[in-house]
Each structure stands twice: as structure tokens, then as C-alpha cells.
Amino acid sequence: MRYQYTSSGYKGRLKPPSFSVPSGVKLLLIVNVIIFIITELSGQKNNFFHLFGLVPRLVGFQLKIWQLFTYLFLHGGIFHIFFNMFVLWMFGKDLEYKWGKKDFLIFYFVCGIGAGIITVLFGINSIIPIVGASGAIYGLLVAYGFSYPNRLVYLYGLFPLKVKHMVLGLGIIAFFASMSASQSNVSHITHLSGMMIGLIIMYFNLSWSEFKILYF
């Protein structure tokens, strides 16, 4: 499978209905929402965040490696999960139909886990939990920008904007925000890292089959 140009998962398929949801995106939506509800109703939100969120110092020095994966399924609030899941649905479904379920999920988790690793490296002494699928989501946005650069999205539902310009704008915002020393509840380095990993995969047209050849 080539992320940018071809896909065995899409060949021979009719164009899906615009509101249909492929199985990989649907699985991610369901799991994220279920975990969010459990976390909110448990009364143990802080404990969940410290155990399963991404805490750089715990990953770096206590080897809680699972956090690089589990942090992707935790969210800080209703607006946090709504934005991430909306973008996943809006942009992820076309990518999954184009690539196929397996390669879509691989791309998603490579961007998310990779963003987590970079976040740990840049904040190794931090004990603040980082949660959310944003690293993976921003990687998907880059992939969508490569795949459908001239499609229009409507900013605030009013202003037409080409996808490639939207992605470029988000990248610039994430870059300068990550350079800021000001305190923020948003991990901009995670957003930027997800975008950079997505950019590398798309620009060099990497594929899972090539990695399998290298390692097997």
C-alpha cells in the first residue's frame, strides 16, 4: 500500500456514501467514547490520567511504555473529545476508504505513538499527564492535505479554505505555539510531532509493506 497514491483497500470499490463510516474509524470512535464515559463516571479521572495518560517522566524513567499507546484514548473534557472525534470522522473516513482499514490504523497509531515518543524526549522531566488523540489526528490532517489538497473546507462553516492551506496554517500555529514558553493546557509539541511524522510518511511515500521487508 502506498499512502499517497494507491491503495489495495480502495481498488474496485464504489464511492461510499458521504455519511458512511468505515470500520476502522468506527472502531476508534466507539472505543474513545466508551473510555471517555467510563473515565468521567468513575470518579477516578486523575488516577486514570496518571496511570494511562502520557507522563513523560514515568515513561522515561519508570518505563511505563504502555502510556505511549493508552494516552491516545483519554480526553480532558467534552470539547476535547468532540473536536478530535469530529476531525477523525470528517477526514479519517476518506483516508480509510482510500488505504484500507489495516493501513489506516497503522498510520494512525504510528503518528500517535511517534508523537508521544517525541513529546517524552522533549519533556523528559515533566510529570504533567498528556492525554488525547491529537498527535494521531494531526497526522491524519497532513495525510488528508497530501491526498486531497484542493478540497474545500469551510472555516466556522462560512469561509471556504483549501485543505492544503488549512493544514499549513495549523502547522504554523503548532510550530510557534510549541516554541512559546507560556504555560498551556494544550501540548503543542505533540500536535507538531504528529504532523511531522505524517509529513515524513506522506512525503517519502512510505508503506507498511516496506517496513515488513526491512524487519522480516
Angle of helix 188-203 relative to helix 101-122, nearest 10 degrees, comes to 130
Residues in the chain: 216
pTM of the model: 0.86
pLDDT band for position 173 (cuts 50, 70, 90): confident
- Which domains can be identified in the chain, with CATH numbers? 23-215 (1.20.1540.10)
| Mean pLDDT computed over every residue of the chain | 86
Q: Is the pLDDT of residue 133 over 70?
A: yes
Q: Supply the pLDDT for residue 141.
A: 96
Residues 41 and 131: their CA atoms lie apart, in Å, by 17
**pLDDT tens per residue across span 103-130:** 999 999 999 999 999 999 999 999 999 9
How many Å separate Cα 137 from the centre of its chain?
3
**Cβ-Cβ contacts under 8 Å for 95 (sequence gap 6 or more):** 104, 107, 140, 143, 144, 147
Distances in whole angstroms, Cα of residue 81 to Cα of each of 12, 33, 40, 131, 163: 34, 8, 12, 10, 22
